[in-house]
Amino acid sequence: MNCFCLTVAGEEMFNSLSLLQCETLCLRRYLKTSHKLYSATYDPNEKTFEKLLIANRGEIACRVIKTCKKMGIKTVAIHSDVDANAVHVKMADEAVCVGPAPTSKSYLNMDAIMEVIKETRAQAVHPGYGFLSENKEFARRLAAEGVTFIGPDTHAIQAMGDKIESKLLAKNAKVNTIPGFDGVVKDADEAVRIAREIGYPVMIKASAGGGGKGMRIAWDDEETREGFRFSSQEAASSFGDDRLLIEKFIDNPRHIEIQVLADKHGNALWLNERECSIQRRNQKVVEEAPSTFLDPETRRAMGEQAVALAKAVKYSSAGTVEFLVDSSKNFYFLEMNTRLQVEHPVTECITGLDLVQEMIRVAKGYPLRHKQADIPINGWAVECRVYAEDPYKSFGLPSIGKLSQYQEPLHVPSVRVDSGIQQGSDISIYYDPMISKLITYGSNRAEALKRMEEALDNYVIRGVTHNISLLREVIIHPRFVRGDISTKFLPEVYPDGFKGHKLTDLERRELLATAASLYVAEQLRSQRFLGTPRIPIAKSKRSSWELSVHLGDGIYPVAVSKDGSSFSVEVDGMKLNVTSEWNLASPLLSVTIDGTQRTIQRLSRNASGSTSIQFLGTVYKLQILTKVAAELSKYMPEKAAEDTSSILRSPMPGAVVAVSVKPGDMVSEGQEICVIEAMKMQNSMIAAKTGK
């Protein structure tokens, strides 16, 4: 077990700790080492609420609890039965189960949550994001019970939560809007008619939606019909509201949003922008603040329109106004999220404000403490959403499993990690597959990106497939580095799908030299027992090894010789010097190759010489054999590949929500067989060939 307790207590004391004591120590460490990167002040004499319930789970519940502790507010966590041992449950002062795993029976179960509020006598509720955060009925029921909703009033939620009504209000408030149909689309036939009138391509999206759920792009009549069907089903599943709207799809735009903050006294501020253009399936992957694209005039214009919209609906809380921005810096209102946004930490980093604290203050009735002129842009912040996803499948299909090893890169300077999991946590099919939000801060963009690169290399996640390889490739890509991005960045840069990092010749030699050095270091370690040779009288003078390393489609001869604590490795006729402490028990290994420092992770190895190494973010599979073993390996039979041509296999775990055929049917290539729902997203499974 690799945990904080072992580090601070030592092995002997660690072995005497109970599981509860161990978890308590780890939790204290979690609270202390979660870097804040904002400089908000907390006045102990400013009274707000004695007890607050968080109607959410995971990282956002943990995020709210941290601020509540600083403000002296006791917290109540709710959880489903599968979340009984979740981090947010352990962090809260009280925790109550509200139902089984499905969200409709737990985190969306208003009756159960209202009952917990009564039982615990919570005075206020913070909804986080998602779930009930933009549900006007929930806010209304809280108000009826005299419980404060940490968010705007029901009128603002109703007005901005309904994309149709919000678009009309935006027009009236002189906010730039996208051309489209302002009413509710009744059925697929009407959707096709409207789409033809607007002109393809069009965006079909849930009226009550957000977070990329219930959203489809259609380029023709057939895609409009299919998009209407799936969007309405996802909208009903995610929001309990299947109404849809259609608007013109602006091709190749940027997605830039403005953070607003307003109180109950008519004051409203815009807290600068967030660049959120790196997306897959309309869901954000990398965000940053500020944007490389906006000039001060455009920033001010967007901020003033965002505030005008907030004032038009008498908004009071933190909220986000999202815009699409074209290449000429024309911007169009997309939607307003009447809640705390997932990517809010980058705004906190550059402004110094704690947005959760501000939301709580506003909900209690306090006026804002700042004027527009007080809001700075200090430095640069970047956020990567770390997901339990396979980035090689459609830029990220969900992965499930138990985190067998987990270590956040908090030793890297100016890093903040917002997470709600720990080693041993389960990533299940029931909830969003986000592991954490990894945030880095720098005095400028280059510094923030360099720290992000280092943080991703030092992030240890074992037990589930994750998207760190994709995140790292995005932030070092020349187009991203120079700020040349749009919402089409991923499909444009990776038209054939993400394939991982493509090694240069130098990087390939570095990887081969590192892998060979690791192999030799392990061979040398295996000859020793408790720091002494296994057989003291049998002194081995061996100092050189001839190896064969298989990487990708190539087999490379590698010669390794020991030179003190370093290895001299010859690859492709070139010699490289590899040095390290060679702590093979550590999940992270710092290696210096000809003066270049690399942080690598060895994920697996076996007796046949096969090993997996995470290098430059991507996992590479290698086989390292001695020269003799490599010559003999050609006699080993190869395992035949499985014939999957007649099999329809789901690319991810999920629930089958619809079956479109029956046994005996003749199906054609491309025909839908069934629909799989995973992490609230529906995916059509199609036949790969014609058959019965």
List, in order of start, the domains of the chain with CATH numbers. 51-150 (3.40.50.20), 180-248 (3.30.1490.20), 254-493 (3.30.470.20), 505-525+542-631 (3.30.700.30), 644-691 (2.40.50.100)
| The predicted structure's pLDDT at residue 22 | 47
Contacts of 599 (CB under 8 A, 6+ apart): 454, 457, 458, 588, 589, 590, 591
Structure-token pair, residue 448: 């923030």
| The predicted structure's pLDDT at residue 60 | 98
Q: What is the pLDDT of residues 532-582, one digit of tens each?
A: 655 655 555 678 999 999 999 999 999 999 988 899 999 999 999 999 999
Name which residue leads in pLDDT, 472 or 429.
472
Of 45, 2, 276, 314, the residue nearest 158 (C-alpha): 314
The answer to whether 485 and 254 are in contact (CB under 8 A) is yes
**Any catalytic annotation for residue 454?**
no
CA atoms of 296 and 111, how far apart (whole Å):
47
| The predicted structure's pLDDT at residue 194 | 93
- Of residues 257, 287, 335, 389, which has the active-site annotation? 335
Average pLDDT score, the chain: 90
CA atoms of 281 and 580, how far apart (whole Å):
41
CA atoms of 421 and 435, how far apart (whole Å):
7
The answer to whether 430 and 101 are in contact (CB under 8 A) is yes
Question: Is the pLDDT reported for residue 12 higher than 60?
Answer: no
Residue 265 CB coordination number (10 Å): 12
Of 429, 477, 431, the residue nearest 453 (C-alpha): 477
pTM of the model: 0.84
Q: What is the pLDDT of residues 577-608, one digit of tens each?
A: 999 999 999 999 999 999 999 999 999 999 88
3-state secondary structure of 480: helix
| The predicted structure's pLDDT at residue 37 | 57
Q: What percent of the chain has pLDDT over 90?
A: 73
147 DSSP assignment:
P
When mean pLDDT is compared across 155-169, 482-496, 554-568, the lowest value belongs to 155-169
How open is the CA angle 440-425-606, to the nearest 5 degrees?
Answer: 90
Distances (CA, A) of 240 to 49, 134, 502: 31, 12, 44
Residue 628 CB coordination number (10 Å): 10
Mean predicted confidence (pLDDT) in 656-668? 94
The helix or strand, by DSSP H or E, that contains position 106, with its residue range, turns out to be none
**Exposure pattern of 399-432 as b/e (b: 16+ CB <10 Å)?**
bbeebebbbbbbebebbbbbbbbbbbbbbbebbb
Of 459, 495, 487, 494, the residue nearest 473 (C-alpha): 494
At 529, the pLDDT band (50, 70, 90 cuts) reads low
3-state secondary structure of 130: coil
* Amino acid at residue number 383: E
| The predicted structure's pLDDT at residue 40 | 77
| The predicted structure's pLDDT at residue 535 | 60
| The predicted structure's pLDDT at residue 35 | 39
When mean pLDDT is compared across 52-61, 200-209, 394-403, 518-527, the lowest value belongs to 200-209
Structure-token pair, residue 112: 């159960």
3-state secondary structure of 481: helix
Of 383, 359, 384, 387, the residue nearest 54 (C-alpha): 359
Handedness of CA 510, 514, 515, 519 (dihedral sign): positive
Q: What is the pLDDT of residues 295-333, one digit of tens each?
A: 999 999 999 999 999 999 999 999 999 999 988 898 999
Question: Is the pLDDT reported for residue 619 higher than 90?
Answer: yes
Of 615, 253, 292, the residue nearest 479 (C-alpha): 292
Contacts of 583 (CB under 8 A, 6+ apart): 589
How open is the CA angle 334-336-342, to the nearest 5 degrees?
Answer: 105
3-state secondary structure of 187: coil
Residues comprising the chain, all counted: 692
3-state secondary structure of 676: strand
Question: Is the pLDDT reported for residue 9 higher than 60?
Answer: no
Q: Name residue 96's beta-bridge partners.
A: 78
Structure-token pair, residue 191: 């959707």
Structure-token pair, residue 423: 């080693």
| The predicted structure's pLDDT at residue 471 | 98
The answer to whether 124 and 52 are in contact (CB under 8 A) is yes
The helix or strand, by DSSP H or E, that contains position 351, with its residue range, turns out to be helix 344-351
Q: What percent of the chain has pLDDT over 70?
A: 92
Name which residue leads in pLDDT, 247 or 273.
273
Phi-psi region of 210 (alpha: psi -120 to 50; beta: other; left: phi over 0): left
